[in-house]
Structure 1
Amino acid sequence: MMGAERRSMIISEKDKKITAWHEAGHALVARLTEHNDPVHKVTIIPRGPALGLTQMLPKEDRLNWNRSSVLDRIAMAMGGRIAEELEFNEITSGAKSDIEHATKFARSMVCEWGMSEKLGPLAFGEEEGEVFLGREFAQRSRNFSEATAIEIDAEVRKIVTEQYSRAKQILMENKPALDRVAAALLEWETLDGEELELLLRGGTLNKSKPPPAQKPNEVRRPEVKEKSKILDALGGLTAPVPKPEAGKA
């Protein structure tokens, strides 16, 4: 999903701490919201362009998304940025793809899935005109007015900011648990779902420590240059969201 583990990649202690709290924030919001899938794994071992990963696995195949599940997934996506802010009183560019995911989800709710309470069960998108002179491109035009476009933007902003606030409240109320999970990630690097549950109950982990990094002389934290797709039902935040089937709510 995100590529092979990159254990040889050297990350500064500061960035490792940021990543630990970031992923702990994702994991806690996912666990403490009703409609998110169970957390399968949380890791701060780099994979592909990502410095960490929170992976969720659905209990059964998902063919459709309901509104509550989408809102919980947006809240989970914002949990990483919020955890950074709560712990370090600062935010980083590491939440770039999370913000993209949340925004795309919210826009799909408004423009494709009819989940906006204000705009109702309507589809807002682009209409294609005829192909010009046999070329492989078409003229596109919006099927809604400028005033509606402003309303769409306002609805998308409202959805994201409301879920941001909800996720922040969850993490503020559970800051000790957030700190325990982040500290465990710094020590063990990877936690599974059962270990996460144990930490949330105030328990202590006892397992083998991960191997040390190979090259202590090179420190870098590259930016994510590859644009991620919409949140994945598996929680790896990489695959496109399945659209609801016609005729289903």
Structure 2
Amino acid sequence: MEGFDVFGSDSSSDDDSHHNNHSTGQSIVTLNAIAQSITLRDAPVLWEVIDSIELNGGKGLRATTNIAKGVEINRESPLVRCPNYYPAESEEKAIVMHKACVKQKFAQVKESNYQKLMSLFCHDMFCDKEGNTTEYGIYQTNSVKLSGRDSSSGGVFPVMCRMNHSCAANVRHEWNESIEKLFLFADRDIEEGEELYSNYGGFDVNYKTSERRDFLQRNFGFHCLCEKCHVPYESQLCSQCEA
């Protein structure tokens, strides 16, 4: 029997107005020795939730201090996890199975986490016929595809899902399957006040602008206007010239 991947989203900015614009997060550097001896309570605050400079009313993350390349910005556990791959006779049946799984997982979370989930942005493409937010829509809009032995699953992470997209992202995320947490690392030196961006598609440098925009439009429902997509003739440049 054929299987279908029904994964709908890698991450998404939060587009609601119910959260404090100055929520803060703590994290630590990447050294394992330090990671084992320090708690998040002891660590410096590295980010805050803001009104994104690129979104009308949408949220984003901003660096609250200079962050060196490789430093851990955040780590978190998923509020919900669900398989994204289902053996089924058709894609339609796989989606039905996926929706049932998401419904079950949402029903199992405690009330406080359920409220966090339902306050997240739900893309129009996943709303019901009346335009209302759905549990499935929340999952599809905000879920992050995991990696390693968990690569067929996804999860919703309350911090990660607030990060906006850029094809020239300054943050990368890694799933640690042994402790079941998602880590955010600075992918380059980041200055205080910079907005933090993730690459929703995980694009290779050789992807053309048209290819990236097409993927993002089909999978995430937006036309990318990031700085990389605004570079004149960027799609014609070779990977050696793009730097």
**TM-score range normalised by the length of the shorter chain:** under 0.3
Kindly indicate whether structure 1 or structure 2 has the higher relative contact order, using CA contacts under 8 Å at least 6 residues apart.
1
Per the normalisation by structure 2, the TM-score is 0.23
Higher helix share: 1
Per the normalisation by structure 1, the TM-score is 0.23
